[in-house]
Amino acid sequence: MAPVLTAHLQVTATLVLLLSMLSSAAGGKLLVVPVDGSHWLSMQEVLDGLRQKGHEIVVVAPEISLFLKPTNNFVMKMYPVPFTQEEMDKNLRAFLQEIFEEGSFLERFLKVYQTMKRLSDLSVSTCAHFLYNKDLVRYLEESKFDAVLTDPVLPCGQILAEHLSVPSVFFLRGAPCGLDFEATQCPSPPSYVPRVFAVLTDRMNFLQRVKNLIFDIPNYFLCDCVFQPYAKLASEFLQRHVTVLDLLRQASIWLMRLDFTLDYPRPLMPNIIAIGGVNCVHKKLTQVGHALFLILALIDFCIYKGEILYCR
């Protein structure tokens, strides 16, 4: 009992010491490469909190988007893309319609695959127009950012972080095809972790485990469809061969919007922090306010120019 109590006291003392350093840390420069849609709505609240804490926030976004609009809270750098708002909305509506349609597994998989391929082509094109926008990238190089905050569901932000040689913080709900498990080396055996579309729980009999293993196979095709173009783009832009896993493994912190009242319990590595409360309206749940404070503190440490999170 005594060793456990001593360990708790040590952890508490360390946390108090680190938090006390925040008051003396000057505001840093944070570069944000977000993903549009609901991903941005959760991230925007965190950015508002960081802005209030004195950090300089620069958000890079395409001119055509759903929710990525200019605001007075931080600097927004926009860049042109080769498609219209109507084209983007049409593809998104098709994806949402097809993903919720009923049918056999094969029918659903083929429809989702085709729609994801179209959306992937749009997102890769957007990323390429961003990375090869010489004026914008030159501005980002000269700005000397302390950290990059991005959502790795689309790895464009991490490609830029590698180019700038800047530590990165991931802010995400999860990565397609279990890449978050693989990149962080978290165990994810198909005998125990249910796969997408399998409609199973973590309590399976033998035949259900076999079914779960079979449902894991299509992930390899979906990952190849979505992420292989990013690997090619990253290799060309960084002028060295890299894979998407190579990029994801470079993150300093993974802020995972997991809540184990909704998600299956899973092993977490030391640089993975579960922040599920940020998905909710924090004015109604006081626990969410604590989660938001933790997020701001963690990003503060990453921006702060010490040696705390420079663990790449």
Quick one: pLDDT at residue 309?
A: 42
Quick one: pLDDT at residue 4?
A: 45
| Confidence label for 297 from pLDDT (cuts 50, 70 and 90) | low
* CB neighbour list of residue 139: distance below 8 Å, 6 or more residues apart: 77
Considering only residues 177 and 130, tell me which one the structure prediction assigns the higher pLDDT. 130
**What's the whole-number mean pLDDT along residues 81-88?**
85
Quick one: pLDDT at residue 130?
A: 96
Residue 308 has pLDDT above 50, yes or no: no
Quick one: pLDDT at residue 24?
A: 46
Residue 54 has pLDDT above 80, yes or no: yes
β pairing state of 147-150 and 75-79: unpaired
Q: How far is CA 125 from CA 120, 130, 133, 134, 139, in A?
A: 8, 9, 12, 16, 21
Distance separating alpha carbons of residues 127 and 29, to the nearest angstrom: 22
Helix (H) or strand (E) holding 93: helix 85-99
Quick one: pLDDT at residue 125?
A: 92
**What's the whole-number mean pLDDT along residues 260-288?**
70
Q: How far is CA 12 from CA 17, 134, 294, in A?
A: 9, 47, 14
Quick one: pLDDT at residue 296?
A: 62
The CATH classification of domain 26-188+217-303, taken from the options 2.60.450.10, 3.40.640.10, 3.20.20.70, 3.40.50.2000: 3.40.50.2000
| Confidence label for 234 from pLDDT (cuts 50, 70 and 90) | very high
- Residue 35 in 3-state DSSP? coil
Q: List the single range of 49-58, 144-153, 163-172, 295-304 with lowest mean pLDDT.
A: 295-304
